[in-house]
């Protein structure tokens, strides 16, 4: 019995794992960093406010750029917005925008 051949335009499990794992790691870092600004006080809060906009200016475009590239890959391979990589990318993009707004509002 022959095994089914995967679609030539599909996504390999290793690539899909990477595209799902990378935004989780950076979104968790960004979440902890943004929420840390709500928890610290005194001199630590002054230091956080001094550097928070610079961190957001580097991390947010990185996450949103990766999200955009993932969505382009999903569109190029015609996998649809229901694909787990597309759904994950959209969710991480929304979280990134919300955390960036939190950082800029609080700093």
* Per-residue pLDDT reduced to its tens digit, 62-98: 999 999 999 999 999 999 999 999 999 999 999 999 9
Please report which confidence band the pLDDT of residue 107 belongs to, taking 50, 70 and 90 as the band edges.
Answer: confident
Q: Given CA atoms 69, 72, 76, 82 in this order, what sign does their dihedral have?
A: positive
d(CA 73, CA 86): 9
**pTM, entire model:** 0.86
* Per-residue pLDDT reduced to its tens digit, 19-63: 999 999 999 999 999 999 889 999 999 999 999 999 999 999 999
Tokens describing residue 15: 């690539």
């Amino acid at each position: 019995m022959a095994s089914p051949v995967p679609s030539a335009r599909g996504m390999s499990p290793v690539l899909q794992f990477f595209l799902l794992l990378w935004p989780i790691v950076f979104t968790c870092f960004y979440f902890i960093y943004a929420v840390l600004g709500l928890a610290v006080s005194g001199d630590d809060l002054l230091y956080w406010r001094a550097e928070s906009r610079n961190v957001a200016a580097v991390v947010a475009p990185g996450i949103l750029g990766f999200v955009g590239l993932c969505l382009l890959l999903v569109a190029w391979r015609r996998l649809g917005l229901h694909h787990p990589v597309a759904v994950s990318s959209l969710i991480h993009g929304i979280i990134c925008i919300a955390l960036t707004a939190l950082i800029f509002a609080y700093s």
